[in-house]
Structure 1
Amino acid sequence: MLSLNKNLQKLVDIAQKPTKTGIGLMSGTSLDGLDIALCSFTGNGLQTKFKLLQFVTIPYPQSFKDEVQQVFARKTASLEQVTLLNAFIGNYHGELVLEALENWNITPNTVDFIASHGQTIYHAPKRLHQLQNFPNATLQIGDGDHLAVKTDIITISDFRQKHIAAGGEGAPLALYGDVLLGSKPGENRILLNIGGIANLTYLPGNGDTTQILCTDIGPGNTLIDAACRKYFDMAYDLDSAIAKRGKVNKALLNALLDHPFFAEQLPKTTGPELFGLHYVEQAQSRSETQNISNDDLVCTLSAFTATSIVNFLKTNITADNLSIFVSGGGARNPFVMNHLKQAFAETPITDTGDLGIDPDAKEAILFALLGNEALCGEPLTIGDNPAVLMGKFSFPV
């Protein structure tokens, strides 16, 4: 009788462990750095319990950001650059994982798996590309084999492709982790993530999975950060200092809000491919606001993010007794958060720390969770969302 090869046998052994240790990696559209979350998991599915053991964000050097920006959210880019970056990012992320483990005094052989989101360079739902003969598509680079070989840890990567293959748009994948970690019987919850793009998961307290909603809303930090980089040579608007100096230009704000995306059927996805500085320039042209100050521009873009979130919630979430839990960089943006709290004065709004989930680490935790599900879970049926297990396995040898 033939036996399993050692890689497959190791997968079986890991899947059968009562407690597994995994690393979740998240590199977002803001390109600020790599989020590395070391977690332990017991169980799977709705019985999953986790602990965040360690977390760090290792900032990217400007040289790395410059390389990725050459291919990021561009309809045309160097095929050679994409090919080279795919290998480079996988290897580089492996180096950063080893650096983090060394700083935590943890040896790689005690980690069961890495779950890597990769670096999104283009997101192309059919609604956006509108090419009749082509399906939804998305591309994340940072090859899993390079990660596995560099770290000597089994790596699970490229999660979004299965979601698309099964009929989804590849995002937001937060749905699966939010349902597993964020649901509470008897309490209607919104888990709002304000990263580069703003997205949310609505979790009804009655446990009816057909009522769960997970969707992108519109821009989160992406336009604010892009304007800060272009006009202030800053990665982002620290403590909303620029926005607080400026004034909201209502003509520009109305032009920014005037796009069919905001009225499209739910769930939906988007990205910097739509909401980039070109979008802002077009809105300024339509509203004849090209000459407003840079402070006013950042202030108006901050108001755009906040207003689009408020409009979405008031239009699409009608449940009473809501609690809103915020994560992502936007949870640290006082301008955006104050706007939300003023619009929903009767609704408790806190960050996901109140759920035991570090708001900065949430997305990395969620990918570690998806890795645990890939190892020992079963496909979850959540409304009309694809019931699939996601991720491709790469072995060190």
Structure 2
Amino acid sequence: MNMHIQKLYDKAAKAERLIIGLMSGTSMDGLDIALCSVKNSGANTDIRVVNFKTGEYTDDFRAKIKAVFSKNEVNLQLVCLMNEHIADVHAQLINEALIEWGYNSEDIDFIASHGQTIFHAPKSLHQLADYPNGTLQIGDGDHIALKTRIITLSDFRQKHLAAGGEGAPLAVYGDYLIFSEAGEDRVMLNIGGIANFTYLPGNLQASQVFSTDVGPGNTLMDQYMQKHFNQFYDKHAAVAMAGQPNPALLSALLDCSFFELGFPKTTGPELFNLAYLEKAQEQSSTTKLSPEDVMATLCHFSTVTIANAIKRCFGEEARAQVFMSGGGMHNPLLVQKLKVELPYCHFLTTEDLNIDPDAKEAVLFAVLANETLCGKPVDFGNRQGVPSVCMGKISLPG
């Protein structure tokens, strides 16, 4: 037997595994690195975050990602080169984190790498009859495995596509295994670049669980701040709080067929971008609106789309336990407006469930890797968008 296959077998058979989960989202603020201790699998999964940090991206590296990100036309040579370059940078950030935390590569059993999404193209968005759902994450797993000397699982979304899903959201799998609680209906709300949530019924029936994107979380606000204020995001919602939401612009922003689609569904910055905003401003005759009022409206737009989706599941007087994670939970105006829109819901964060909310997405990929290595597919029923599969390609470090 190949020695790396033997190591894979031995590590997968351990009672406790150290798995590094990686996440770099559409906000591109850095690489989330979560070192997790994982025991068991399936409904008995026991996961603990041992260490967590966000490896910072340089402005130059972020600009290089943006050059190939969410564009219909890009330089194909750059896409090819960035597949390798992103992996090299991620490997370097992992190695630096291990040194900081006092670990050697031999101490770590596996890496679970999400990669960097550069394009997401479900049929609902591309509307090309002869083509399937598509998504593309780059940051090659072989490069990470070789340069960290750690077995790496990557490219998780392709199996989801192959089995009939849209490649997202994948949170349903990890959320169900980590956060389900008998007798309590829960909503795991992640407000990243795109906002999505997982519904976890208190009866623990996997066939009723689902995840769905609901619309823009931070992506439109971040894009607007970067263009008009040269700031990466609206820190403490200072700009949005200085403005007032404009009803006409809000109405135009909400006038999109995506919001009428059933759950589950996916979307991305391919739809919700500055061109989308500019079109809405033209339709609503609000092109002269102050930047502060635009930001206030965009914040309200994200809030309303999240609240409407939750009401769609639970009714106008929705009474759910909502556990937040993602960068949007740090936006005080967005959270304040959510509480107004959903007055009967109880808002918490995943910190209340012993998982750092900033680490949650990275932790979920550690769980996905653990299931591929040590578990078996959970039966989510024969439903569109939630195929019962294990995901991730395995790259050996030699």
**TM category, shorter:** over 0.9
Q: Judging changes above 3 Å, is the alpha-carbon distance between structure 1 residues 244 and 366 closer, same or farther for their aligned structure 2 residues? A: same
Corresponding letter in the other structure for 1:357: I
Tell me how far apart the structure 1 counterparts of residues 153 and 107 of structure 2 sit (CA, whole Å): 16
2:204 equivalent in structure 1: 207
Mean Cα deviation higher: 6-15 or 152-161: 6-15
- Per the TM alignment, residue 132 of structure 1 is displaced from its structure 2 partner at its CA by 1.0
Number of the residue aligned with 1:21: 18
Name the SS for the 2:85 alignment partner: helix
Per-residue CA deviation, residues 120-156 of structure 1 (Å, 9 max, x unaligned), is: 0000001111111110010000000110111000100
Residue 338 of structure 2 aligns with which residue? Answer: 340
Preserved CA contact (<8 Å) 2:311 2:318? no
Alignment match, 2:69? 72
Choose which of 131, 135, 155 in structure 1 pairs with 2:132: 135
Cα RMSD, aligned residues only: 1.0
Residues 1:364 and 2:365 aligned together: no
**Structure 1 residue 162 displacement after superposition:** 0.2
Does residue 157 in structure 1 map to residue 154 in structure 2?
yes
Deviations 1:142-187, CA, capped at 9 Å, x for gaps: 0001101110001000000000000000000000000001100000
Shift of 1:292: 0.5
Asked if structure 2 preserves the Cα contact closer than 8 Å seen for 1:187 and 1:321, the reply is no
Within 2, Cα distance between the matches of 1:366 and 1:110?
Answer: 21
Output aligned runs, 1:99-178, within 5 Å: 99-178=96-175
- Looking at structure 2, the residues matched to 393 and 252 of structure 1 have their Cα atoms a distance apart, in angstroms, of 47
Contact 2:310 2:318 in 1 (8 A): no
Partners of 1:294 and 1:361 lie apart in 2 by: 32
Match of 2:55 among 55, 58, 62: 58
User: What is aligned with 1:241?
Assistant: 238
Distance of aligned partners of 1:81 and 1:216 in 2 relative to their CA distance in 1, 3 Å threshold: same
Residues 54-112 of structure 1: per-residue CA shift (max 9 Å, x gap): 00011211101111111100011000000000001111100000001111111111000
Structure-2 separation of matches of 1:348 and 1:367: 27
SS in structure 2 of the partner of residue 305 of structure 1:
helix
Code of the residue aligned with 1:6 in structure 2: it is M
Name the residue aligned to 2:396.
Answer: 395
Q: Which structure 2 residues correspond to residues 276-355 of structure 1 after superposition, within 5 A? A: 276-318=273-315, 321-355=319-353
C-alpha displacement of 1:345:
2.1
- Alignment size in residue pairs: 394
Maintained 8 Å contact 1:188/1:321? no
User: Do 2:318 and 2:345's aligned partners in 1 also have CA atoms closer than 8 Å?
Assistant: no
**How far apart are residue 320 of structure 1 and its match?**
6.4
SS of 2:357's equivalent? coil
Take 1:380 and 1:209, find their aligned partners in 2: how far apart are those partners? 8
Comparing 312-321 with 384-393, greater Cα deviation is found at 312-321
Structure 2 SS opposite 1:316: helix
1:211 Cα deviation (Å)?
2.1
Could you tell me which amino acid in structure 2 is paired with residue 364 of structure 1? A
How much has 1:16 moved relative to structure 2? 0.6
Answer yes or no: is 1:386 the counterpart of 2:387: yes
Partner residue of 1:252 out of 249, 253, 272: 249
1:123 match: secondary structure: strand
3-state DSSP class of the match of 2:78?
A: helix
Kindly state the Cα deviation for residue 238 of structure 1 after the two structures are TM-superposed. Answer: 0.7
> Structure 1 runs of 4+ off > 3 angstroms?
318-321
Matched to 2:332, the amino acid is: P
> Are the structure 2 counterparts of residues 320 and 209 from structure 1 closer, same or farther at C-alpha, using a change threshold of 3 Å?
farther
**Aligned partner of residue 169 in structure 1, secondary structure:** coil
Give the superposition deviation at 1:210. Answer: 2.5
Q: Deviations over 1:338-375 (max 9, x none)?
A: 01111222221011111111100000000111111111
Equivalent position SS for 1:167: coil
Unaligned runs of 5+ in 1: none
TM-score, normalised to structure 2's length? 0.98
Identity percentage of aligned residues? 52
How far the C-alpha of 1:32 sits from its partner, in A, is 0.4
